[in-house]
Structure 1
Amino acid sequence: MLSKKTQYAFKALMYLAQHEHEGPVLIAEVSKKKKIPLKFLENILLELRKAGILDSKKGKGGGYFFAIEPKKVNLAQVMRLLDGPISLLPCVSLNFYERCKNCDEKKCGLNMAMVQVRDATLKILEKKTVADISFPE
């Protein structure tokens, strides 16, 4: 399940993508329009900026904007940044692998099933971008 943090991130990214050609967007505007608590949104956008997805400008005419095109930001990238692993078990994670205790992965039916789930999920999330989910308001 997506965390509230990631859900808010996607809402904010969609809003910014929809207003991409209008210049930087104020945090307060995104917060109000998308009903995201301001302090929570500040932290989310800061993480996205540190990751190079967003950039910001201070002062008059300032706000947040995309550092890279929304069509180059895939959903898996954002989810991993904010929530960590996408896989349902640590033993099948590509980027956050951890061996399960007392388990032989080569003989574990659950592991084998979760690898298929992970692969099917990633096939979609790595192809879909912020631009794909950003419909005009």
Structure 2
Amino acid sequence: MLSKKTQYAFQALMYLASKETDEPVLIAEIARKKKIPLKFLENILLELKNANILDSKKGKGGGYYFAKNPKDVPLATVMRLLDGPISLLPCVSLYFYERCKNCDEKSCGLHTVMSQVRDANLKILEKKTIADLAKG
């Protein structure tokens, strides 16, 4: 399940991607239009900025804007950044692997099935981008 944080991030990113211009957008505007708590949104956008997905401009005419083209930001990247592993078990995670205690991965049916689930999810999440979300 996506965390509220990641859901809000996707809402904000879709809003930015749907804008007609590349002009910076104020956090307050995004928060108001998407009904996201302002302080929570500030932290989310800062994480996205630190990951070089967004950038910001201070002062008059300031706000947040994409540092990368929304077509180049896979959904999986945002999910991993904000929620961590996409896989349902740590023993099948590609980036956050941890061996399960008392389990032989080679003969574990759950490991096998969860690997297939991970691969099916990633097939979509690595291909679909923020631009795809913004299109509807």
Q: Considering the TM-score relative to the shorter chain, is it more than 0.5?
A: yes
> Which residues in structure 2 correspond to 1:1-137 (within 5 Å)?
1-19=1-19, 21-135=21-135
What displacement does 1:120 show? 0.5
Mapped to 2, the partners of 1:50 and 1:26 lie a distance apart of 17
Q: Distance in 2 between matches of 1:22 and 1:33?
A: 18
Displacement of 1:116 in angstroms is: 0.2
Further displaced range: 57-66 or 15-24: 15-24
Do the aligned partners of residues 23 and 98 (structure 1) sit closer, same or farther apart at CA in structure 2, a change above 3 Å counting? same
Percent identity among equivalent residues?
A: 78
The alpha carbon displacement at 1:20 in A equals 5.3
What amino acid is aligned across from residue 53 of structure 1 in structure 2? I
Between the aligned partners of 1:115 and 1:88, the Cα distance in structure 2 is 9
Of residues 21-30 and 110-119 in structure 1, the stretch that sits farther from structure 2 once superposed is 21-30
What is the number of equivalent residue pairs in this alignment? 136
Alpha-carbon shift at residue 22 of structure 1 (Å): 4.8
Deviates more, 1:55-64 or 1:17-26: 17-26
Greater than 6 Å deviation, 4+ residue runs:
none
Q: 2:17–2:131: 8 Å Cα contact kept in structure 1?
A: yes
CA contact (8 A) 2:88 2:118 kept: yes
**Partner SS state of residue 127, structure 2:** coil
Residues 64-117 of structure 1 show CA distances to partners (whole Å, capped at 9, x for unaligned) of 000000000000000000000000000000000000000000010000000000
Equivalent pair of 2:76/2:125 in contact (CA under 8 Å): yes
Q: CA RMSD in A?
A: 1.0
Q: Which runs of 5+ in 1 are unaligned?
A: none
Amino acid at match of 2:69: E
TM-score by length of 2: 0.98
Contact map agreement 1:92 1:118 (CA 8 A) in 2: yes
Gaps of 5+ in 2: none
